[in-house]
């Protein structure tokens, strides 16, 4: 007797008609949401096969490169473009922005400018990414077609805004494969999703595992706040009204308040989804450029929760991101002591300075040391501070 096998997470084919529908309401509007069945899921054997004839094979593991700061620039701004060679020596990723902050009249010049940057500007070992326009915009098809067919071998990652669910990634996945085949691109362009809607948040685990192209996910706090109807107009960061208050004491004595992090749950869930899928989580933008103290606090919260980097919108934020997303020298020294004391396998338990260290702390320290080594290989200043040899 034939036994039906359970579905395995994989890239889904869009069915001609939803086999089963669920009603989903938003502000009174109803829509059908397809319930996936076994027939709608590709075989796991096909997951790492190209989605177009002549396209490069999907990667089985996303290559890790430092990406502590994803620095945005407007490719249509000649003055900004002229500064890129100098900026490339200071940042891990340069991102040519084609979406928000680029007015409609500048969309085509920005796209053409990014092609020129990819072809003509020496960025050294710094990664070049782009954020294309939203999938429901009139510009995104030209963004992807132009960039992939003309400079696909120079663009490492395409950032896709306002991803609602895995179906958005499936669409981009197939389209990129077709364009790579047309343009003779030798290695797959990776995809980075921005978490900017409640729907995307509710399906973040599916998004993270939607394609072998997935490189990472960033939190987009402003758009997500608007979509959730959160009562804040800030671009990232906390809010003085989101707090807890000390219990009453001593009659009418003042009660201390403590501001809370609006984004704690969102970032933590995004991190879990990314780590489970083997991709990287990022905090997005911090809009108050002048408040570098609060920017550093927000970046550090994200770093401690597991994010590997954040967006930088101005050069003053670059140093903040570099400082926050690089392990502190003292932390690296302590991690080295723990790993040395416990040996290569990390089994058992030891006492160091009166503190018990076991398998769990060995793993934590190994994470810190691995990151420090990867960063030291790119950053001679950090290599010297960590006592590690640069380039190794």
Query: Would you write out the chain's pLDDT as a tens digit for each of its 392 residues?
Result: 444 444 444 444 444 444 444 444 444 444 455 555 555 666 777 788 999 999 999 999 998 889 999 999 999 999 999 999 999 999 999 999 999 889 999 999 999 999 999 999 999 999 999 999 999 999 999 999 999 999 999 999 999 999 999 999 999 999 999 999 999 999 999 999 999 999 999 999 999 999 999 999 999 998 898 989 988 888 878 788 787 888 888 878 888 888 888 889 999 999 999 999 999 999 999 999 999 999 999 999 999 999 999 999 999 999 999 999 999 999 999 999 888 888 877 778 888 888 888 888 888 898 899 889 988 988 888 999 999 876 54
Q: Which of 335, 361, 330 is nearest to 346 (CA)?
A: 361
Radius of gyration of the chain, Cα coordinates, nearest whole angstrom: 23
Q: Using CA atoms in the order 44, 49, 53, 59, what is the torsion angle rounded to 10 degrees? A: 140
Identify whether the C-beta of residue 72 lies closer than 8 Å to the C-beta of residue 97.
Answer: yes
Which SS3 state, helix, strand or coil, does residue 215 take? strand
pLDDT, position 276: 96
Phi/psi of residue 171, nearest 5 degrees: -60, -50
Identify whether the C-beta of residue 327 lies closer than 8 Å to the C-beta of residue 303.
Answer: no
Q: Using CA atoms in the order 111, 132, 191, 312, what is the torsion angle rounded to 10 degrees? A: 90
The strand pair at 190-195 and 157-160 is best described as parallel
* Whole-number Cα distances in Å, 48 to 11, 139, 224: 10, 29, 32
pLDDT, position 206: 97
pLDDT, position 391: 52
Q: 274-283: b or e for each residue (b if 16 or more CB lie within 10 Å)?
A: beebebbbbb
Helices (H), the chain: 78-82, 84-88, 107-120, 140-151, 166-183, 198-202, 204-208, 221-228, 264-277, 292-305, 315-324, 329-342, 359-376, 380-386
Determine the Cα–Cα distance for residues 78 and 88; give it in Å rounded to an integer.
16
> What single DSSP character describes residue 286?
-
Tokens for 242, please give them.
Answer: 């989101």
pLDDT, position 27: 44
Domains of the chain: 1-47 (no CATH), 52-248+256-324 (3.20.20.60), 329-386 (no CATH)
Identify whether the C-beta of residue 223 lies closer than 8 Å to the C-beta of residue 201.
Answer: no
pLDDT, position 39: 56
pLDDT, position 352: 84
Residue for token digits 């343009």? 183
What pTM did the predictor assign?
0.84
Identify whether the C-beta of residue 74 lies closer than 8 Å to the C-beta of residue 101.
Answer: yes
């Amino acid at each position: 007797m034939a036994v039906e096998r359970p579905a395995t997470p994989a890239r889904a084919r869009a069915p001609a008609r939803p086999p089963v529908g669920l009603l989903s309401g938003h502000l009174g509007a109803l829509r059908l949401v397809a319930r996936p069945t076994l027939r709608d899921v590709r075989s796991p054997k096909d997951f790492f096969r190209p989605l177009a004839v002549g396209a490069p094979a999907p990667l089985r593991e996303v290559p890790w490169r430092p990406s502590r700061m994803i620095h945005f620039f407007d490719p249509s701004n000649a003055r900004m473009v002229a500064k890129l060679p100098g900026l490339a020596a200071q940042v891990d990723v340069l991102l040519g922005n084609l979406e928000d902050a680029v007015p409609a009249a500048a969309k085509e010049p920005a796209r053409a400018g990014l092609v020129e940057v990819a072809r003509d500007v020496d960025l050294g070992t710094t990664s070049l990414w782009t954020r294309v326009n939203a999938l429901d915009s009139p510009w995104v098809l030209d963004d992807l077609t132009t960039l992939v067919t003309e400079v696909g071998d120079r663009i490492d990652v395409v950032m896709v805004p306002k991803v609602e669910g895995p179906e958005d990634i499936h669409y981009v996945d197939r389209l990129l494969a077709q364009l790579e085949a047309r343009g003779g691109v030798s290695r797959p362009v990776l995809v980075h999703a921005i978490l900017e809607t409640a729907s995307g948040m509710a399906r973040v685990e599916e998004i993270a595992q939607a394609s072998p192209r997935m490189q990472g996910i960033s939190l987009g706090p402003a758009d997500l706040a608007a979509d959730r109807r959160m009562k804040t107009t800030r671009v990232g960061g906390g809010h003085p009204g989101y707090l807890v208050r000390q219990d009453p004491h001593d009659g009418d004595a003042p009660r201390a308040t403590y501001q809370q992090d609006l984004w704690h749950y969102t970032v933590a869930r995004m991190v879990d989804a990314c780590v489970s899928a083997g991709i990287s989580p990022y905090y997005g933008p911090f809009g108050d450029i002048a408040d570098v103290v609060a920017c550093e606090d927000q970046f550090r919260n994200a770093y401690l929760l597991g994010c590997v980097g954040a967006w930088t919108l101005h050069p003053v934020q670059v140093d903040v991101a570099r400082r926050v997303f690089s392990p502190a020298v003292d932390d690296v020294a302590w991690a080295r002591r723990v790993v040395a004391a416990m040996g290569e396998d990390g089994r058992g338990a030891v006492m160091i300075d009166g503190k018990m260290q076991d398998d769990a702390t060995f793993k934590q320290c190994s994470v810190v040391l691995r990151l420090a080594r990867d960063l030291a290989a790119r950053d001679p200043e950090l290599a010297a501070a960590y006592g590690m040899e640069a380039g190794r």
